[in-house]
Structure 1
Amino acid sequence: MIDTSKLLYCDSRYQAKRRHSRVMNVGGIQIGGDQPIRVQSMTTTNTQDVDATVAQTLALAEAGCEIVRITAPNKQAAAALGEISKKLRAAKCDVPLVADIHFLPAAAMEAAKHVEKVRINPGNYADKKKFAVLEYTDAAYQEELERLYESFSPIVLRCKELGRAMRIGTNHGSLSDRLMNRYGDSPLGMVESALEFIRIAESHNYYDICLSMKSSNPKVMIEAYRLAVARMNQEGMNYPLHLGVTEAGDGEDARVKSAIGIGTLLNDGLGDTIRVSLTEDPIYEVPVARDLAEKAMSLWQEQADRPLPELTKDRIDPFDFRKRATRPITLSEQCTLGGESVPAVVVKTQHRISEITDIVQDVCRTQTKLKDSKLECLQLSIQTPEDFQHFSAIHEALHSVVQAFVLELSDAIDIEHLQEFKWPHGLSGTILLQKIAREDAFYAANLLQFCRDQSFIFALDTSAEALREEIAAQLKPMGSEALILTSSLPAEDIHPVGSYRALVEAAEGCVPDAPIWLRNTLYNTLAPKDYYSDRLLESSLFTGALLCDGIGDMVSIETEPLLEKGTTLAYNILQGARARISKTEFVACPSCGRTLFDLQSVTQKIRARTDHLKGVTIAIMGCIVNGPGEMADADFGYVGGAPSKINLYVGKECVKYNVPASEALDRLIDLIKEHGKWVEPT
């Protein structure tokens, strides 16, 4: 196996320095180098319905899609690409076309005649996936590679002859048995699968290649792309990257997962072309992808000429997810931070604390509307000493509904005000939050001592630089048993994700086990405030990137004015990053010409019947291409097996074949019941 401990995948984990890749040409559109991030999508029509496919491609191009992918499941569909291309060019549409190839080399050879780029999935192209357990000797493995050489070389030579580009697109759900047995169902296996095919292409002096490493799990996807870059660096390769979270699903969940996966990598400086995969009309993919692309390019340009900060390499292993070890802190009987606990959710009310009735009504209304995503910690702003009296009234009204309270102290509040107020008994679960600069190090220690005396928790809002240089000396002797670290302002010259990475590093010198609170504020944005307004994508990629690093014991979305929306979004981000599961997880492909049923309507029907099953993962696949593999990441699967027929899976095992579509949802629920995962909805 490969030692990843010394691998590097980006210039800086604190600044967004764009990775330099070679430039490839796709029908006049250049990808990589200093070119803009290119936005892609994929048609969902039957490829052999030429007019429908042309119409959808034109609509995608009109919406701003720069490259369009079309499936070619057989040689007849591949031949239809010729007519599609002719009609598009006759309509003055020059958008490059990509043929999506999986199982059939003959389809690839035909498609290359008509399109500007061919996508090959290594796990499905000239390779086998039967979930066979077999130990390969080195000699046997080499024989398999020689077989791959014979099978893959013809399409490489055809693309080289015709001037076509190629994407080697590895999917987590379709690794071959050979790779699975040597590397396991792992990101490293995904990378090695692609490298095998690249080496074959390079043996023919063919280099017009980009790579993708897609998974429905953003953490797996992030790790795989980072490993791909690191391994390419080792082998002197610099191919451009196509980013995407596959089978992300629909609605807010899909946008959150896509922003976490794609946004995290763009923030690392990785990525040259992207696709946001939604189980919706593909035209809705384009604006989300454009937002992510424009944000990244703005950040890259902003930080391009800045010198790298004088920071040591952070201790987070970017190739292997591990939750950062922290001290458990008990806020209340129902809420514990740190340790083995899942991250807690804090929601900030936008009401003034004097508006007691409005706050109480808002909280109660929010709690009534939400299911499992309960409001755990309520954040209130304390502007003057008189506001403490209002807090007492709010605590009295809500302590049975809210598990903990955060009091955000303004600069006008100091230790004397806290000491003078007659704190009522029974205020356990209270967190005092205050921003502390380096020159107030002694004050920070006094505030921590006050919190310990009162059985409160102190949330220290500070910078890594202040913590490392002045405050550390005051806090180190006191320990972290009543301390949370957070930062509401990014450090100078590094991006907000880098600010939290630096904060964690600074904590290593004084309070290494202090829990971290991830605060989404107006200032913790990854682009200028006046540039990017979508709170969902912004919060998802900022918080999700850190959660995937293993950083984060509390989360707050303070940019969202509505309690209900802020609470729901926080839980959705935690679920998207696989940091906390609070509802059913749906893995749903975005549809294409292979799909054997209406994915959008079927997904909605399955969601309506099963979205109360906390902790259960259901995969909904339109065809068999990635179905069996993606089942490995799901508890149950609903896969198109034939027209009007559904195959049902438990894990990666198909247990029911060719179930009539009209009965399939009921049979799926029966399977869930048989395996003890069903609960009746309330």
Structure 2
Amino acid sequence: MSSSYCASRFATQRRVSREVPVGTIGVGGANPIRIQSMTTTLTQDVEATVKQSIALAEAGCEIVRVTAPNKAAAKALKDIRANFSAAGFAHIPLVADIHFLPNAAMEAIEHVEKVRVNPGNYADNKKFAVLEYTDSQYNEELERLHESFSPLVKRAKELGRALRIGTNHGSLSDRIMNRYGDTPLGMVESALEFLRIAQSHGYYDMILSMKASNPKVMIEAYRLLVEHMDKEEMNYPLHLGVTEAGDGEDGRIKSAIGIGSLLMDGLGDTIRVSLTEDPVYEIPVAQALAKKMMAQWAPDSESPAKTAEPDSVDPYHFQRREISSVTLGPSAILGSEEPPLVITPVTHPISEYVTIAAETKTSRPALGDSKLEGLLLKADSIADLEKLSELCSAIRGSAEFVVVELNDELPLDEVSLALPHQPLPLAVLRDFGDDDYDDYKQFVQLCSQFKLRPIVGVSPTVSDKILSDQVDDLVLTLSSTVTPEKPYHKIGSYRQLCERLKKQSNKAPLWIRNSKSESEETSGSEFLDKLLDAAVLTGSLLCDGLGDIISIESDDDLIRSTRLSYNVLQGAGARITKTEFVACPSCGRTLFDLQTTTQRIREKTGHLKGVKIAIMGCIVNGPGEMADADFGYVGGAPAKINLYVGKQCVKYNIPQAEADERLIDLIKEHGKWVDPQPVAP
């Protein structure tokens, strides 16, 4: 299967889109990735909204969005625009965010440079009804939609305004849900209905988005959208974002996985990193991510032709790669039905085993469920290997297995003399050149002799002779010497390797390594840089169903590196080790303080491994985005909370002061509660 949604899955070639003017800012075409954010103030509070808009603009936000949930809020946009311009920001476009009311959209289009409409909510009365639409009934609904949406399109065309057709996974219409289901295809068709109406009026200044809180769903939806637009000869720019991503490290990881994966495939023209924090904090994350991705793009003159290289991954439906079962430790098992394992690098030499043992033991309480599974150590000399038994004895009980990375210069004959049976399960890693078949066979035999797990580092162009060799318990990874030249990238190298393995019927598990060399350009803080690199490389591959072990080797801190690995796995939906929070960013519709509420609920429920809790400021996207959440905490009215199980509301208008405990009671009623473990001193 070759992918039609992008020019290449091995090299970053930017998708060609039309340029859409948003005020004085061009989006798409040859323009850079534009940075967006959204105000969280009450829109009718003009002074507060202008103040926050100025703060966003000064932080580097190029397009500012403001919610307009009703006509009164839409009218306030006139003064917001005037005051924002008077403050010296006439060049920064404002966008009105509309969900339900066409009359609010018609008011907003008079005052701002762009209006975003949600096709699942706009002019649709959503009752979550189960109906069977005949073709005739479906067409009647489309005619009604045409009548409701056309006035906005015509006025936008008259005024030279832009529109964003912003589909949300959590708010598809009953019409779409009943015909297409809660699927990426349903999201795409929801947007296409609106595009076709606009085009019937000769209007083309539109930008598209396909947002979801699940990065896998979001990635698949954007890919499918591009494929369908190409079939209808549409080339609209894309606004990328993961909605309800949450806060802190988790929110940044989820956003980087979704946005970064698509940008590496050449898709995306403007981005918003949605965090449950002050929106000013979204800007440096978005800027760092955009800078990294644009650095990957090659000038048109240097871009390779559209690849004909086959790629058997189905980019529109997630399916994990089938692998052989390999046991690395007592409970560290690799398999198609097993979650990926984490290997943590150790920066100390093996000879400092006392220090290593102390670090691993003190890390255990700090890591909680993010336990140490495997430790990666480098052996640069035979003297290092001679201390291996003492190290394995010292760390026994702290980690399940050890991986020793052999220096390529170490003679395998001498290595074999220094590898007696070890007190811990041991795997040995070595890189091999494309034609080092004899050395490779000697290494595999050495591992078999001492009952070691062989891990082999290769390039995507390694000889078929090595890849076709069926070896029990073998694990593969990319060689540390593989550094693709731009626009080719590491994600593409892993994809290429997996494709070649499939041709050879080789089901060896794959280890995704995030080495220090990934952080070539420091775009933000040092840790943010490492987080973005790890989330984009590892998250992209995991969302394609590739990867069975991961390691983040760019950070020398053992606890931080391990925790980041588990957080990336959780963000990609590959392994759940803690409570999953779906939390929307604040906006003018929010009925309580999302930041403090999310932090408070996290403190009370963050120990519930595998439980998913949605914290939503209002009902706009609530039921849909909570479809795969276990429980929902949603603003129903000022100082009132509605509680959900899945997308069914079970408790209405609970006083906010009681809502936390009522949520816990609900979790207990459904058998998902466990008492937190006491914190070790």
Per the normalisation by structure 1, the TM-score is 0.96
Q: CA deviation at 1:112?
A: 0.5
User: 1:438 aligns to what?
Assistant: 434
- Which consecutive residues of structure 2, in runs of 5 or more, have no partner in the other structure? none
Give the residue type in structure 1 aligned to 2:507.
D
What is the distance in 1 between the residues matched to 2:523 and 2:449?
A: 43
In structure 2, the residue matched to 1:586 is: 581
CA 1:530–1:285: 2 relative to 1, 3 Å = closer
1:486 aligned onto 2:478: yes
1:256: how far off? 0.4
1:515 to 504, 509, 517: 509
SS across alignment from 2:574? coil
Aligned to 1:222: 219
Contact in 2 for aligned 1:586/1:618 (Cα 8 Å): yes
In the TM superposition, what is the alpha-carbon distance from 1:378 to its structure 2 partner?
0.2
1:243 partner amino acid = L
Contact 1:584 1:613 in 2 (8 A): yes
Contact (CA 8 Å) 1:43, 1:57: kept in 2 or not? Answer: yes
The yes-or-no answer on 1:354 pairing with 2:351 is: yes
Say whether the 8 Å CA contact 2:614–2:626 is kept in structure 1.
yes
Distance in 1, matches of 2:186 and 2:306, equals 34
1:276 equivalent in alignment to 2:268: no
Of residues 549, 556, 560, the one that matches 2:544 is: 549
Corresponding residue SS for 1:419: helix
* Distance in 1 separating the partners of 2:534 and 2:305: 25
Distance 1:676-1:531 versus aligned 2 partners, 3 A rule: closer
Asked if the contact 1:456/1:482 (under 8 Å) is kept, the reply is no
Q: Which amino acid aligns with 2:657?
A: S
State how 1:61-140 maps to structure 2 within 5 Å: 61-94=57-90, 95-140=92-137
Q: Compared with structure 1, are the counterparts of its residues 491 and 414 closer, same or farther at alpha carbon in structure 2 (3 Å cutoff)?
A: farther
Contact 1:159 1:165 in 2 (8 A): yes
The amino acid across from 1:664 in the alignment is A
Which of residues 187, 192, 196 is equivalent to 2:193? Answer: 196
Q: 2:176 aligns with which of 165, 174, 179?
A: 179
The CA distance in 1 between the partners of 2:93 and 2:251, in whole Å, is 26
Whether the 8 Å CA contact 2:354–2:394 is kept in 1: the answer is no
- 3-state SS of paired residue (1:168): strand
Residue matched to 1:447: 443
Q: How far apart in 2 are the matches of 1:651 and 1:97?
A: 35
Q: Distance in 2 between matches of 1:336 and 1:103?
A: 49
Give CA deviations for 1:633-659 in whole Å, capped at 9, x if unaligned: 211000000000000000000000000
Aligned counterparts, 1:207-606, within 5 A: 207-301=204-298, 305-308=302-305, 312-421=309-418, 423-424=420-421, 426-427=423-424, 429-466=425-462, 470=463, 472-474=464-466, 476-488=468-480, 489-492=482-485, 494-510=488-504, 512-524=506-518, 533=526, 534-606=529-601
Distance 1:511 1:483, change over 3 A: farther
SS state of the match for residue 641, structure 2?
strand
Find out whether 1:28 has 2:20 as its counterpart.
no
CA deviation vs aligned residue, 1:230-266 (integer Å, no higher than 9, x gap) = 1000100000000000000000000000000000000
Q: Deviations over 1:471-522 (max 9, x none)?
A: x314534434333333332344520100101111122243520100000012
CA deviation string 1:172-194 (max 9, x = no partner): 00001110111110011000000
**Of 586, 606, 612, the match for 2:607:** 612
Sequence identity (%): 57
Compared CA separation, residues 676 and 363, structure 1 to 2 (3 A): same
For structure 1, the 5+ residue unaligned runs are none
CA distance in 2: counterparts of 1:532 and 1:473, whole angstroms:
44
Question: Any conservation in 2 of the 1:190–1:224 contact (CA below 8 Å)?
Answer: yes
* Distance change (3 Å), C-alpha of 1:6 and 1:181: farther
Aligned length: 672
**Most deviating of 487-496 and 636-645:** 487-496
CA spacing shift, 1:304–1:637, aligned 2, 3 Å = farther
Instruction: State how far apart, in whole Å, the 2-side matches of 1:430 and 1:456 are.
Output: 6
Look up the equivalent residue of 2:465 and give its one-letter code: A
Give the secondary-structure state (helix, strand or coil) at the position aligned to 1:355.
Answer: helix
Runs of 4+, deviation exceeding 6 Å: 529-532
CA 1:442–1:509: 2 relative to 1, 3 Å: farther
CA contact (8 A) 1:259 1:292 kept: yes
Output one character per residue of 1:148-192: Cα deviation in whole Å (capped at 9) or x when no partner: 101111111111111110000000000011101111100110000
Instruction: Tell me if structure 1 keeps the 8 A contact 2:458–2:476.
Output: no
Give the Cα–Cα distance (whole angstroms) in 2 for the partners of residues 519 and 655 of structure 1.
Answer: 45
- Amino acid across the alignment from 2:656: A
2:650 paired with 1:651: no
1:7, CA displacement in angstroms? 5.9
TM-score, length-scaled by structure 2: 0.96
The CA distance in 1 between the partners of 2:246 and 2:307, in whole Å, is: 41
- Greater mean alpha carbon deviation, residues 407-416 or residues 610-619: 407-416
Task: Name the SS for the 1:279 alignment partner.
Answer: coil
Q: Is the 8 A contact 1:259 1:541 kept in 2?
A: yes
